[in-house]
Structure 1
C-alpha cells in the first residue's frame, strides 16, 4: 500500500519516539533513564544559535533555552539576571553588564566577557530574522573577564529584552559547523544526541551555575500527528505535550493520569501578502482579500475557546498592543475593490504553509481559500516541509504564506520592530514613515510613550493590510499528573529545568 505524506510522517514520528524513548538516539546517546519526555508540535531542524534560517524558529528556541544561557532572562513580566548578574545604562548610548563569576561551559571552559563579544559580533554578521534587533548596536567590548560594554547608535531602550535572545557559546565555536548538531553552551542541559526533525536528547549539566536541573535529562521526540502524540501522552510514553489543539482537548481532559495546563499565549496566526509581488503591491487587493473572510465565524468554528479573533497585528497579551477596528466581512465590497484595482475577473495566486506550524493549520488554510474562491480569487495551496518553507520564506519566494508567529520576548519590538521595517524586508512591504515610528519606539525610554508609538505602528500595519491576522491562540499543555514544578509559558518556551516527578 502506498502511504500518503501525512501517514508517512506519522509513522516516522512514532518510530522516532520509540527509538528515543527506548534507549538509543539515532545520532549520539539517548537522554539518561528517568528523563522528562517532552513532545512539541514542530520539528527541531538545527541547534546552531546563529543559523540564519532558524534564528527565531520556535522549536529550535525551546531547545536553545535549555542548552545555552543569555545575559538576561524573562520571568513572567519581568526581566531578570541570567549570565549577567547586573546591568546599568551609562548615558544615552552605553550599557554596562557585569557577568557572573565562576560560570563554566559544558566543556569545562570559563565563560568570559570575550565570549559575549564574539557572540554579539557573530549575531550581527549573520543576516537573519533577528538582524533588525541588533541593527542599532554598534559594538561590544570586554573590559576584563566579567564586564561587557555595549555601545549603541543612538538611544536603545530594547537592548535588555533583546539580550534574552543572544545565546552565549565559547568564542572559538561561534562559526563552528559542529554547533549545528552537538553544540556547547553553559545552560542547564547539554546535548547528547540529535537527529534533525526527529529527536533531541539532552542530559543534565551538573555544573550549571544556577544549580542542577530536577530531572536527569530531557528527551524530545517529534511526533508528526497530534492524535498519535496524545495517545503517547495517555499511555505514558511521553510526559508532556504541547500545544494541544482545542478540538482535541477532550482527548486529554478527564483522562486518568493526565491533566491540562493552559495560558493565553503570545502565539498567533498570520497570513502575509508578498507586497513586492503583483497583485499584492496594491493595498486595495490586500484589503479585498481580508473583506472576503468571515474571520469571526472561521476562528469560532475552528478554534472555539482555544483562540480569539485578533484586533491588531500582535496579540492583546503583548506590550504595545492597540486595538484596531475589524475589517467587516463584505464579499460584495471585496469584488468591487478588485474591479477598481483592474481585476474584475479576479486572479490566480498561491499560499504556502507547513502543517506543523500550528493547530488546525490545514483547516484554517482551506477555510480561507474557500472564501477567496467566492470572490473570484483562485488560490493554489502549497503545503510543504518546514525546511523548504523556511528557505522560501526568507527568499521572498511566495505569493501568500500562512504561519504561526510567537512574540518571543512579549514586547512589540520583537515583532513590529523586527519584521515590518523597510530594511528587514520580510514581506516586500516598505514604508519610510513606519520606519521612523518603529525607530522612535525602539529608542524611547518612557513606557507610556513607547506604547503610544507602537499603537501608531499597529494602526499603520493594520490599515495598510500588510497581512491577515486571524487568531491569537491559547496554548494548552497536556502533561502527566505526577509532574510538578511545571509553569505554562506564554511564548511556548517553558522552563523545563524545574520540572520533576512527584
Structure 2
C-alpha cells in the first residue's frame, strides 16, 4: 500500500519542467500596506463558459477562470503536485485510490464541500462526452463512504490519476445541474463570481479560503478583442496585466516607463489538424505533401521572431514526453510529386478553419500556409469563424483542416497525446491501433522512465503519419504595470493570482 500526505508530496517528473521554466518574479517595489485591492487583467482569449466540465473544459480561458473559482483535489505548485482539497491519499492496490479530504472547505454559499460533491463532479465530467472526459474513461466507480473519504476504482491502473485530478474542478452536487447555475456559479476557490458576461467580462471578489484569503479584494477579467486596444489599455493603466503579448506588439511596450515584460516558455503550441477521416486527408501521402509545401521555419522566424520556436515534436519541448523528430524539409517539388502519386497531380480544393483569438498572429499564420499551399496547386478556402462556431465544428468534425493553439495543461504528454490521438477519442478522424496500444500503456504506467520511452514512440508515429502540421511552440510574454507585485508567469497561461498585490 502506498500512502501520501502533506509531508510527502508526490513529485511527478512528468511535470517537472514546469518548475524549470516557471520563474518567480516580484515586479515593482514599495510598501505593500499601500497596495490597491483591485486588479484588471486581460487574457487574449474570451471567457465564453464557466462550466469546467462542459464543451469548454480544456479551453484556456475557461481553465483560467476555473483555477480562480473552483477547487481541485490536487494542485500543481511549480514542479510538484501537492494536496489541495485532498489532504492525503493512499493506494491499497494498483486500481484503487483512497483520498482523505480536508474537513474545512466550504463553497461560496457557505455549504460544506464533501466527498459526495467530488463524486458527483467526477461522474459528471466522465459522462459529459467532452475533451476532458477521455481522462476518466477507465474509472469504474467513485464512492463517498463519508464526508471526507473518497474511493476511486479504475478498470486498469491509471498512472496519471493525480495529474488528471489537478484539472477536475469540484462543484456542489446539489445545485450544479440546475438551470442557470453557470451564469453565476458557486465554487469553493479563492474567488467567487460577482458577475459574468460571456466573451465580455468576468468580475470576481476574494473569499476566505482554506489556503488563506487572497491579498486582492477584486479581480476583473475583461476581454478586449482588438490587440491595439489591449496594448493601449496596458500603457494607460486601464489594465494591470496583459498576456500573452503578441510578438509583433512587443516593440510597443519595450522600454515604456511603468511596464515590465516577463517571458516564460509555454505549454502552448500551434497545430494544423487534417480531418483524417475524409478524402483527401485520409491519405498520409497527401498530409505529408501539405507539410512539405509549408516553409515552417521561415514562417516562424519571420512571423513570430523570438515569440516562438519551431516545433520538433507533436508536443512542445516543455512537456514531459517530448521526443525530438526529424523535421519535414520545405520542398514544394517533392510535395507536388507526392500529390501526383496520390492521384492529385492537378491539385485540389479544400478549406482551413480557425478563429483569430486562438493565439498570437493566428491570421498571419493561416494566410502564410494558405499561400504556400497555393504554390503546389492546392486552393484553400480561408474560414475565419467566431470561436463558438469553431468549437461546434471542431467537436462535430465539420472541417477539412483546423488551425488552433493547444495547451498541454498538465505538463504531461498524456493530456495531449493520450487524450487527442486515441482512436476512441476520434478527434480528427485518425485511427491507429498500434498507437492506441502505446498510449494505453503510457496512460496506465506510473514509471516515468517507461512512460517517456512510450511517448517517444507515440511522437514518432504521429509525426511521421502527419496527422497534423506542428509549426510553432509559443513563448508567453506577460505585460505588467510596475505596480503589480508577487506575480508569477505561468507556462499554462493560467496564472495563480492569490498572492498578487497592486500598489
Aligned residue number for residue 196 of structure 1: 198
After superposition, the C-alpha distances for 1:419-477 in whole angstroms (9 at most, x for unaligned) are: 00001000000111111000000111211000000110000000000000000000000
Aligned-pair CA distance for 1:137: 1.2
Aligned residue number for residue 253 of structure 2: 252
Alignment of 1:93-492 (within 5 A): 93-205=95-207, 207-492=208-493
Are 1:35 and 2:41 an aligned pair?
A: no
- Distance, in Å, in 2 between the alignment partners of 1:377 and 1:220 is 41
Aligned-pair CA distance for 1:74: 0.9
- Distance, in Å, in 2 between the alignment partners of 1:448 and 1:34 is 46
Aligned-pair CA distance for 1:88: 2.1
CA contact (8 A) 2:126 2:134 kept: no
- Report SS of the residue matched to 2:462: helix
- Distance, in Å, in 2 between the alignment partners of 1:140 and 1:287 is 44
Aligned-pair CA distance for 1:125: 1.2
Alignment of 1:483-502 (within 5 A): 483-502=484-503
CA contact (8 A) 1:48 1:181 kept: no
CA contact (8 A) 1:47 1:179 kept: no
- Distance, in Å, in 1 between the alignment partners of 2:268 and 2:103 is 36
Match of 2:49 among 46, 51, 67: 46
- Report SS of the residue matched to 2:270: strand
- Report SS of the residue matched to 2:216: coil
- Distance, in Å, in 1 between the alignment partners of 2:412 and 2:282 is 29
CA contact (8 A) 2:37 2:501 kept: no
Are 1:86 and 2:88 an aligned pair?
A: yes
- Distance, in Å, in 1 between the alignment partners of 2:227 and 2:84 is 34
- Report SS of the residue matched to 1:85: strand
- Report SS of the residue matched to 1:162: helix
- Report SS of the residue matched to 2:266: strand
Gaps of 5+ in 1: 1-32
Question: Structure 1-normalised TM-score?
Answer: 0.92
Aligned-pair CA distance for 1:54: 0.4
CA contact (8 A) 1:122 1:174 kept: no
After superposition, the C-alpha distances for 1:97-149 in whole angstroms (9 at most, x for unaligned) are: 11111111000000101110010111111110112100011111112110111
RMSD after superposition: 0.9
CA contact (8 A) 1:70 1:167 kept: yes
- Report SS of the residue matched to 1:86: strand
- Report SS of the residue matched to 2:125: helix
Are 1:67 and 2:69 an aligned pair?
A: yes
Aligned-pair CA distance for 1:71: 0.4
Count of equivalent residues: 468
CA contact (8 A) 2:320 2:413 kept: yes
- Distance, in Å, in 2 between the alignment partners of 1:217 and 1:69 is 18
Aligned-pair CA distance for 1:199: 0.6
Aligned-pair CA distance for 1:173: 2.1
